[in-house]
């Protein structure tokens, strides 16, 4: 299960509308145990796939290094990622699976139709490694109050 508070959930969906018709992307920070993750903060990232931003996304590794460092300093960890599917279903694609390498993390996808965020789904990447990794449907629990974790503002 992915637990996320309403403001962070709304922020993801708002990001997907702002970048439409391009894909948005970002990182989910929080805490995790074996089969669930709780989001304490979302961090917007740039999509470096300027060659095909309407159907591809890529986060610069340098940006991830900085986010991982800031998360560590805030007592958080990277628990997942999000991106949007402009005018496409909110399901993982073969490209999403091929390019997914953070086993144990959540991959959140929001479909956007004509500029409006529609459905937001989450999939957990499971398996023992590249050879047998797979996405599994993951329930999303949106809670009204802030998830109680230490957090600091990230740039």
User: Which residues in this chain contact another protein in the complex, by CB under 8 A?
Assistant: 23, 25, 27, 32, 49, 52, 55-59, 61-62, 64-66, 68-69, 72, 77-79, 81, 83, 85-86, 88, 92-96, 98-105, 107, 129-130
Catalytic, out of 17, 18, 23, 136: 23
Shortest distance (Å) from residue 7 CB to another protein: 23
What is the H or E stretch that residue 154 is in?
A: none
Nearest 10 degrees: CA dihedral of 104, 35, 79, 141?
140
Sort residue 9 into left (φ over 0), alpha (ψ -120 to 50) or beta.
Answer: alpha
Identify whether 23 is a catalytic site residue: yes
Shortest distance (Å) from residue 93 CB to another protein: 4
Distance CA 24, CA 82 (A): 8
Q: Which is nearer to another protein, 6 or 21 (CB)?
A: 21
Shortest distance (Å) from residue 155 CB to another protein: 15
Distance CA 39, CA 77 (A): 10
Could you list the active site residues? 23
């Amino acid at each position: 299960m992915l637990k996320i508070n309403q403001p962070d959930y709304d922020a993801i969906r708002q990001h997907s509308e702002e970048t439409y018709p391009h894909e948005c992307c970002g990182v989910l920070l929080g805490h995790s145990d074996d089969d669930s993750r709780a989001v304490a903060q979302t961090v917007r990232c740039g999509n470096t796939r300027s060659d095909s931003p309407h159907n591809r996304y890529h986060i610069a590794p340098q940006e991830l290094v900085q986010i991982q460092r800031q998360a560590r300093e805030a007592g958080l960890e990277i628990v997942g990622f999000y991106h949007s599917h402009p005018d496409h279903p909110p399901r993982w694609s073969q490209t999403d699976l091929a390019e997914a390498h953070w086993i144990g993390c959540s991959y959140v996808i929001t479909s956007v139709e004509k500029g409006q965020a529609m459905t937001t789904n989450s999939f957990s990447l499971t398996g023992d490694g590249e050879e047998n990794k797979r996405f599994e449907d993951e329930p999303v629990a949106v809670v009204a109050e802030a998830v109680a974790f230490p957090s600091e503002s990230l740039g």
